[in-house]
């Protein structure tokens, strides 16, 4: 008998010490711990929870986890209690609580149902600071993105200005010949008229010659102005046509520098890609213009630029090769960086924009390597029709 009594005493002592232990854990916890009845009414809350919400335990007895929620979360809190009872537990339920002094507190709660007692243990963490921090981070990211977008737009603008400068150079070259021609015709007219040679046939011949030159000049302007039209909608286009269009724009300069340009097309290469044809032409122009500058600087007498189109595994490869001496190994990593240039009047945006256009706008690849006595730029694009 004695031993039963002492065993009982021992068990009660053990239980008391476990209770004390548990109480200490509850009180020292750096989270709100509370026990709720099956309606969500408070039966117990640790010191942390009381301090967090600003209520004493006596006050909490008449409150529930639903009544302490901000009104827009009341229904969700009720559902959370029911779900915890139904499924045994719910984790990381986020809501806004209102403290006794009326402050809003962002909380994350986990609820666990104690079936044998028909009670719920609720752990509450105050995540107000985390959310504030996240909001600040988000704002910071938005500011950074806006800054970068602005920077990117400035670069787009600069690159188009640089391209425009090159274009104006080209127009000047393209127009020089027909303008000289027109000048000669005008001078010839006085001679013809002084010698009374002007008849109907002669007039028609002169008219035809003048019109031909004017049409050529006007075609040049049309080519250039369509080049500067930015399209916002992706379209399916023939890359070979675009390459030819781009080359036509600087053909006179290539000829003036005695640069041979060849397009080599592998048999049966499909040529349709989806993207922005004018931007693509700008890329070809940039690369060919760079190649031209390199071969001119090298003063080559067999200056050659080759554009090879091949097709492999559903992808079209457009490689542009020159024999302008290549790029210094120490620079090759940097040539796609914005503002990297080794040229006196270069802006260093040409290749950066080309990479953005091919890789970001057209989901392709633009790579470079030194090759024989020059460089090889390769554009890889997926061959496809518009969906």
Distance CA 385, CA 82 (A): 54
Distance CA 83, CA 38 (A): 11
Distance CA 185, CA 192 (A): 10
Distance CA 269, CA 352 (A): 28
- DSSP alpha helix (H) spans, 200-332: 200-227, 239-256, 277-298, 329-332
Assess 340 for contact with ligand ATP (CB under 6 A): yes
Assess 323 for contact with ligand ATP (CB under 6 A): no
Subset of 342-381 contacting Mg ion (CB under 5 A): 350
204: CB partners within 8 A, 6+ apart: none
Given 375, 378, 379, 381, the residue binding ligand ATP (CB under 6 A): 375
Assess 358 for contact with ligand ATP (CB under 6 A): no
Distance CA 66, CA 78 (A): 6
Q: Which residue is nearest to Mg ion (CB)?
A: 350
User: Closest CB to ligand ATP among 93 and 280?
Assistant: 280
User: Closest CB to ligand ATP among 53 and 294?
Assistant: 294
**Mask: binding to ligand ATP, 270-309, rule CB under 6 A, as x and -?**
----------------x---xx--x---------------
Assess 77 for contact with Mg ion (CB under 5 A): no
Assess 290 for contact with Mg ion (CB under 5 A): yes
Q: Which of these, 193, 363, 201, lies nearest to 276 by C-alpha position?
A: 363
Stretch binding ligand ATP (CB under 6 A), from 47-55, 64-72, 311-319, 340-348 = 340-348
User: Closest CB to ligand ATP among 40 and 364?
Assistant: 364
Taking the complex as a whole, how short is the minimal distance between the CB of residue 350 and ligand ATP, in angstroms? 3
Distance CA 72, CA 37 (A): 22
φ and ψ at residue 287, rounded to 5 degrees: -70, -45
Stretch binding Mg ion (CB under 5 A), from 19-27, 144-152, 265-273, 285-293 = 285-293
163's contact among ligand ATP, Mg ion, none, with CB below 5 to 8 A by partner kind, is: none
* CA distances from residue 265 to 15, 186, 239, 240, 385 in whole angstroms, order as listed: 89, 44, 11, 9, 20
341's contact among Mg ion, ligand ATP, none, with CB below 5 to 8 A by partner kind, is: ligand ATP
* CA distances from residue 65 to 23, 277, 315 in whole angstroms, order as listed: 21, 61, 60
User: Closest CB to ligand ATP among 53 and 284?
Assistant: 284
Taking the complex as a whole, how short is the minimal distance between the CB of residue 305 and ligand ATP, in angstroms? 9
Distance CA 199, CA 193 (A): 9
Taking the complex as a whole, how short is the minimal distance between the CB of residue 203 and Mg ion, in angstroms? 47
Judge contact between 192 and 202, C-beta under 8 A.
Answer: yes
Could you list the residues that contact ligand ATP (CB under 6 A)?
162, 286, 290-291, 294, 322, 324, 327, 331, 335, 340-343, 346-352, 375
């Amino acid at each position: 008998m004695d031993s039963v009594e002492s065993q009982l005493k021992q068990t009660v002592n053990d239980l008391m010490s476990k209770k004390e232990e548990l109480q200490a854990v509850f009180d020292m916890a750096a989270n709100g711990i509370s026990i709720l009845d099956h309606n969500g009414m408070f039966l117990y809350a640790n010191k942390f929870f009381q301090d967090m919400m600003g209520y004493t335990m006596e006050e909490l007895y008449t409150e529930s986890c639903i009544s302490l929620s901000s009104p827009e979360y009341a229904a969700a809190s009720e559902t959370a209690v029911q779900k915890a009872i139904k499924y045994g537990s719910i984790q990381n339920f986020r809501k806004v609580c209102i403290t006794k002094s009326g402050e809003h507190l962002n909380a994350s709660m986990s609820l666990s149902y104690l079936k044998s007692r028909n009670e719920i243990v609720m752990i509450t963490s105050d995540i107000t600071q985390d959310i504030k921090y996240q909001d600040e981070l988000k704002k910071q990211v938005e500011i950074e993105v806006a800054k970068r977008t602005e920077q990117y737009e400035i670069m787009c603008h600069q690159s188009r200005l640089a391209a425009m400068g090159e274009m104006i150079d080209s127009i000047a070259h393209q127009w020089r010949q027909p303008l000289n021609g027109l000048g000669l015709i005008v001078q010839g007219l006085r001679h013809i008229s002084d010698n009374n040679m002007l008849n109907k046939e002669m007039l028609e011949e002169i008219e035809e010659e003048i019109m031909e030159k004017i049409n050529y000049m006007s075609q040049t302007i049309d080519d250039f102005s369509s080049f500067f039209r930015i399209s916002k909608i992706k379209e399916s286009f023939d890359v070979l046509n675009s390459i030819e269009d781009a080359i036509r724009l600087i053909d006179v300069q290539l000829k003036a520098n005695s640069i041979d340009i060849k397009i080599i097309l592998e048999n049966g290469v499909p040529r349709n890609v989806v993207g922005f044809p004018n931007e693509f032409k700008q890329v070809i122009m940039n690369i060919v213009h760079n190649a031209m500058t390199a071969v001119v600087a090298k003063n080559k007498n067999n200056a050659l630029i080759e554009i090879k189109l091949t097709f492999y595994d559903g992808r079209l490869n457009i490689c542009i090769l020159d024999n302008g001496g290549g790029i210094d190994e120490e620079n090759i990593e940097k040539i796609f960086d914005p503002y990297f240039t080794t040229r006196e009047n270069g802006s260093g945006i040409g290749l950066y924009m080309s990479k953005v256009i091919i890789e970001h706008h057209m989901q392709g690849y633009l790579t470079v390597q030194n090759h024989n006595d020059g460089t090889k730029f390769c554009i890889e694009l997926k061959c496809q029709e518009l969906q």
